[in-house]
Amino acid sequence: CRCCAEGRRHSSILYSILRSEERAGPAAGPAPRGCPCGSRRRVALRSPQVACKAASAVLVKTLRFVQNVPCFQELPLEEQLLLVRGCWAPLLLLGLAQERVHLETVESAEPSMLQRILTARQHGERTPAPAPGRPHHGPHPPAAGDIQAIKGFLAKCWSLDISTKEYAYLKGTVLFNPDLPGLQCTQYIEGLQREAQQALNEHVRLIHRGDEARFAKLNVVLSLLRSINANVVAELFFRPIIGAVNMDDMLLEMLCAKL
């Protein structure tokens, strides 16, 4: 495709845009031992309006960053949408870490399965079992283990004191994911991801000469991101104020708008 044919020219553009990108602007403890039920407890944000507003602002800022990358703009709209749909959650989490957004959570008062069954029987209703791997209808607060993973990711970023340029390179690595199903310009996108990783490596070697393990530590941040489910991020930051949000529709609207 046209994008693959122009891969070399745009790889250097990605390198320069990421290097010049300057954006203005409690560590999580170990998982509880013993009964594994603790990690499945439902939790909610202590101040959902505040956290959701912050997450929405970071999402807008993140999409603006994406739109300002010339290599991304060169891609067909269909490819842009596939990339954004596939990476919005890890990009948002990187943005939350960069903006130092802290999460305060409380245990949710969601009724237990037994309580729901008994209540349904009392009212003569059926209690349909949720499909495997899918949440039941209605509000479904994330489990404590899911929140712990997000807090652990944020704590890891803050402990490394990641710089603005390092965040930009990490975002470039996440954004240009050639493994997403449906992409046509895979070779071009793979080249852009490789450029972002090389730029990150060179920056680390230049700025952190005494820390030979820093590049590996930053890649651990990427591996932590891959373990966090995008549905959990949507439930935590957008359902409390938007409801049963369709992230695909919202991302399409935001991407096509003048952010």
Residue 146 clears pLDDT 70, i.e. is over it: yes
Confidence band, pLDDT 50/70/90 cuts, at residue 224: very high
pLDDT at 65: 92
**Quick one: what percent of the chain has pLDDT higher than 90?**
47
Residue 151 clears pLDDT 70, i.e. is over it: yes
Beta carbons of 53 and 111 less than 8 angstroms apart: no
Instruction: Confirm whether 38 is domain-assigned.
Output: no
Instruction: Confirm whether 63 is domain-assigned.
Output: yes
Short-list 135, 156, 136, 134, CA closest to 227: 156
Per-residue tokens: 18: 């990421």
Higher per-residue confidence, 27 vs 124:
124
- Please tell me the distance from the alpha carbon of residue 248 to that of residue 88, in angstroms, as a whole number: 10
Residue 84 clears pLDDT 90, i.e. is over it: yes
Instruction: Confirm whether 194 is domain-assigned.
Output: yes
Residue 33 identity (one-letter amino acid): R
pLDDT at 235: 86
When mean pLDDT is compared across 37-46, 69-78, 170-179, 235-244, the lowest value belongs to 37-46
Q: Which domain holds residue 229?
A: 47-103+141-257
Higher per-residue confidence, 65 vs 127:
65
- Where b means 16+ CB within 10 Å and e means fewer, 126-162 reads eeeeeeeeeeeeeebbbbbbbbbbbbbbbbbbeebeb
- Please tell me the distance from the alpha carbon of residue 249 to that of residue 259, in angstroms, as a whole number: 16
Give the CATH number for residue 229.
1.10.565.10
Instruction: Confirm whether 157 is domain-assigned.
Output: yes
Residue 208 is classified by DSSP as -
- Please tell me the distance from the alpha carbon of residue 186 to that of residue 152, in angstroms, as a whole number: 32
Express each pLDDT in 161-193 by its tens digit.
999 999 999 999 999 999 999 999 999 999 999
Q: How far is CA 110 from the centre of its chain?
A: 25
Instruction: Confirm whether 222 is domain-assigned.
Output: yes
> Quick one: CA torsion of 206, 210, 214, 216, rounded to 10 degrees?
100
Instruction: Confirm whether 55 is domain-assigned.
Output: yes
| Residue whose token pair is 């407890």 | 41
Residue 206 clears pLDDT 50, i.e. is over it: yes
Q: CB-side exposure of 75: number of CA atoms within 13 Å?
A: 27
> Quick one: CA torsion of 15, 19, 22, 28, rounded to 10 degrees?
90
pLDDT at 23: 42
Q: What is the pTM of this model?
A: 0.74
**pLDDT (average), residues 31-55:** 66
Total domains in the fold of the chain: 1
When mean pLDDT is compared across 124-128, 149-153, 186-190, 250-254, the lowest value belongs to 124-128
Instruction: Confirm whether 109 is domain-assigned.
Output: no
Instruction: Confirm whether 128 is domain-assigned.
Output: no
pLDDT at 157: 96
For residue 43, list its beta bridge partners.
107
